[in-house]
Chain A
Amino acid sequence: MIPYLIHLFILIGVYYILALSLQVSMGFTGLLNLAQIAFFAIGAYTSALLTLAGVPFLLSFVLAGVLALISGFLLSLPLNKLKGDYLAVVTIGFTFIVYAITLNWIELTRGPLGIPGIPKPDIFGYVFNSNESYLVLVTIIAIVIWIFVRAVVRSPFGRTLEAVRDDELATKMLGKDTKKIKAISMMMAAFLAGLAGSLYAHYITFIDPSSFALMQIVPIISIVIIGGLASLPGTLLATIILILLPEPMRFIGFPSSIVGPMRQILYAVILLAVLLYRPKGFWGKVELE
């Protein structure tokens, strides 16, 4: 039982970081950025390939975030003039392009075969071999990231993010450079998603394109909306609840081929239910627009 719980909590840690990244983009800045899975993928593949090439884990981890951040910056450029659903669709398109690259650039990513044997993190000689130690690693990183995000959103800069969300034109009219604000928001979100990707890759030790398909964004959106937009405590609670929620299905006796799609259905249904009945989520102060 305990090893199973440890596994779940590691996943909660990774998803929490991913959810925080979407929270920065969507909850605080009002950008319906569905490209987080793409940044997650970039982070995962970067970290995997670098460590397999001999680069030390810490460096690979950071570079995973950095490469994702650069992609985030590049994506933010064209997004500047777009709004609402067109912005969302462009981010969806970006996710597909990254997915297509992971699937087809076989020389780099081995395509559908994926990348196996990703090494466990080795930090200054200590190898995080066991799941227990990995949980500690993930927890520490998640806490650090939480402190970082909290500091940013409570700072005057965080105010400008929320201002952009509430009324971008009014923000511009107060003399603020909203293009820069949105770009920074995007870069930060991408960076965090990249880090989450690295943590994921080194835990599962095998990644392939299927983990990074568009539909993987649904649980993340659900977490952010249910927890409440712009609510950090809500994000944590919602991550825990949503990761744990489908687990009982394993014990009811569904054949394993069904559990996967059932989980997807569960997340999609929850998302719909929240959109229909409680778009503010449970702890949020902002409604999704």
Chain B
Amino acid sequence: MFLQLLFNSLIAAAIYALVAAGLSLIYSTCRFIHFAHGSVVAAGGYFLYFFYSLLGVNFWISVVLAILSGAGLGWLINEFIYRPLRQRKASNTILLVASISVLIIIESLLLISFGADVKVIDFLVNSRGIVIAGAVIMPLQVAIIVVAILLFLLLRLFLKFSKMGQAMRAVSDNKDVAEIVGISSEKVYSQTFVLGSAIASLAGILIAMEQNLEPSMGTILIIKGFTSAIVGGMGTILGSAIGALTLGVAENFGIWYLPSGYKDAIAFVILFLFLLVRPSGILGIKSSFKN
């Protein structure tokens, strides 16, 4: 039993971590909470559905197309909404309100385009579960955990060693100094959105395959992703992972005691508590981006 709960926690953690990673990345450079990130995750899943299930394109090509589309969507949001607002010296509170609006617009568009009924992606559906000491885990779920870990490692390497990654860290550390050194903060913001949204789409794709698609999933996911980021330490990759793990464990072990309907409520309560008592998270991050 314990092992099964552990597996479930790891799977949930992997998903939340992927959502949180993109959100954290964007927060660390752009310094506001991009609430609409959740809808980009949902959009990623729906893009896969669109290309693979509706258009019948080859699965792997569909995955690539979906990730590119999601990244593009993120880019569009930044370019046409956040950037103009920044030009008007909008505070990060205004950006938060704007991003809630974007979340609703995208979710409503998804609802209109695809309908409210739950969609299924029929790839890897008929696989057999792997049984370890009485606990079952599906190959897809293993894949999700592996992908999440790989992605985190890649992201870490990217931020540390690549020119773009270093520019991101510079802007997140101190935007003014970075600009003096010649880094264009707007360009970095753009790149961050593309990268963050690509990760979001990937998360959406994995979730679409593991669970199912429905238009309002973005709202729940962003709450969980945001909770993970806050719990671990907003603005850090490691924080996203720690927070996601904490949340995954809390949820899955929690519903051993509570009725399962309260699963989502656990996330809300943890979020609320952390924001009040320890907004800097487990790692105690006040601002700026750290590896």
Contacts and interface: CB of A to CB of B under 8 A. Distances in A.
B146 interface: no
B163 interface: no
Given A93-B271, A272-B81, A85 B264 contact: no
A276 B96 contact: no
Given A97-B269, A261-B112, A265-B105, A276 B85 contact: yes
A21 to B, nearest CB: 17
B268 A268 contact: no
B97 A90 contact: no
Interface string B267-289: 01101100110010000000000
A115 interface: no
A211 interface: no
Interface stretch (B45-53, B86-94, B179-187): B86-94
Contacts of A55: none
Contacts of B134: none
B265 A89 contact: no
Given A88-B96, A96-B268, A268 B112 contact: no
Q: How large is the interface on B (under 10, 10 to 19, 20 to 34, 35 or more residues)?
A: 35 or more
B262 to A, nearest CB: 5
Given A85-B33, A85-B93, A104-B261, A268 B116 contact: no
Interface stretch (A61-69, A213-221, A241-249): A213-221
Given A218-B104, A261-B111, A86 B275 contact: yes
Contacts of B108: 261-262, 264-265, 268
Taking chain A's interface residues, is the majority helix, strand, or loop, or is none over half, making it mixed? helix
A262 to B, nearest CB: 7
A214 B91 contact: no
A101 to B, nearest CB: 7
Contacts of A279: 88, 90, 94
B116 A104 contact: no
A268 B279 contact: no
A54 interface: no
Contact of A221 (B90, B97, B276): B97
B261 A101 contact: no
A288 interface: yes
Given A90-B276, A272-B98, A275-B85, A32 B105 contact: no
A97 B267 CA distance: 9
A269 interface: yes
B265 A100 contact: yes
B201 to A, nearest CB: 22
Interface string B248-276: 00000000000101101100110110011
Given A32-B93, A262-B108, A104 B101 contact: no
Contact of A218 (B93, B100, B261): B100
Contacts of A96: 223, 268, 271
A258 B97 contact: no
Max chain A C-beta neighbours (<10 A), residue from B91, B96, B97, B261: B97
Contacts of A271: 97-98, 101
Contact of B262 (A100, A221, A265, A272): A100
Contacts of A212: none
A155 interface: no
Contact of B91 (A93, A257, A289): A289
Contacts of B95: 85
B102 A268 contact: yes
Interface in B7-54: 32-33
Closest 7 CB pairs of A and B: A100-B265, A261-B108, A268-B101, A104-B261, A96-B268, A78-B276, A268-B104
15 contacts: A32-B97, A85-B96, A86-B279, A93-B272, A94-B272, A97-B265, A101-B265, A264-B104, A265-B108, A268-B102, A268-B108, A275-B90, A288-B93, A288-B97, A289-B91
Interface of A: 32, 78, 82, 84-86, 88-90, 93-94, 96-97, 100-101, 103-104, 106, 111, 214-215, 218, 221, 257-258, 261-262, 264-265, 267-269, 271-272, 275-276, 279, 288-289
Given A88-B93, A104-B265, A288-B97, 5 more contacts: A88-B97, A93-B272, A257-B116, A261-B107, A271-B98
